[in-house]
Amino acid sequence: MNSISANLNVMIKASEKASKVLIRDFGEIEKLQVSKKGPSDFVTNSDIKAEKIIIEELKKARPNYSILSEENGAENNKDKNNTWIIDPIDGTINFLHGIPHFAISIALKSNEEIISGLIFDPIKNEIFFAEKENGAFFNNHKIRVSKKNELNNCLFATGGKTKQEPDLPYRKSGCAALDMAYVAAGRYDGYFQHDLNLWDIAAGLILVKEAGGVLNEIDLNNNKNIKIIASSPDINSKLLEKLNNF
């Protein structure tokens, strides 16, 4: 593998430090204090603690970079061309129910494009990361999207509500970040979902792209209500046909 940038190294260290809190708290789910944040959206002490650690670590290394995070929102600092995009726990509801399928997601947006991203699953100790023009990796091994070309042989991921039942083999895992990481690694053949937030999918965008996948165009200045369709290039046109009314 090619050497990683200083920025990605900082992101990895921040996620590893925050993961210690999540692993400990995940083992004591019944003791967590939970506050209702929305109809199906919760925030836990773990979310807040993990986000605080990540921001502190990133700020130590890059004090001028701006920040967009799930809990704290937007923080515009001196350097507005570089923004960390952070989701301390993607898959919070899984976390709350003791389901070991959630992840830390950190991306770096520079001059209106995502140039690096990582998705770290602390329970399985799986880290997916990518940098612009440097490839996508899983635990330091290079990854590529699936090579399947028949939809019936594929497995897709989605989440949230769909307008109509898609005529596709799919799963709902409850973690958008890992869904996209799994597409990049060829575990899933594609992923589609409505009403996402930028911090859910920012790191996944570059992972899929650098793993050879294709995505619909995403406006990175829009933080909410994002629609995404990601897949390998071999099945993309067939998938788009199936998702015509998506």
Q: What span, in angstroms and rounded, lies between the C-alpha atoms of 15 and 22?
A: 10
Sequence-ordered list of residues with C-beta below 8 angstroms from that of 94, at least 6 positions apart, any chain: 100, 101, 102, 173, 174, 175
**92 part of the active site:** yes
Q: Which of 25, 51, 200, 210 is catalytic?
A: 200
Structure-derived torsion over alpha carbons of residues 97, 138, 186, 69, reported in degrees to the nearest 10: 50
b/e burial code for range 159-184 (CB count within 10 A of at least 16 → b) = beebeeebebebeebbbbbbbbbbbb
Q: Which of 92, 127, 234, 235 is catalytic?
A: 92
Q: Which of 90, 121, 131, 189 is catalytic?
A: 90
Contact in structure between 106 and 15 (CB atoms under 8 Å): yes
**90 part of the active site:** yes
Q: What span, in angstroms and rounded, lies between the C-alpha atoms of 57 and 62?
A: 9
**219 part of the active site:** no
End-to-end CA distance of the chain: 38
**70 part of the active site:** yes
**150 part of the active site:** no
**87 part of the active site:** yes
Q: Which of 85, 86, 89, 226 is catalytic?
A: 89
- Catalytic annotation, residues: 70, 87, 89-90, 92, 200
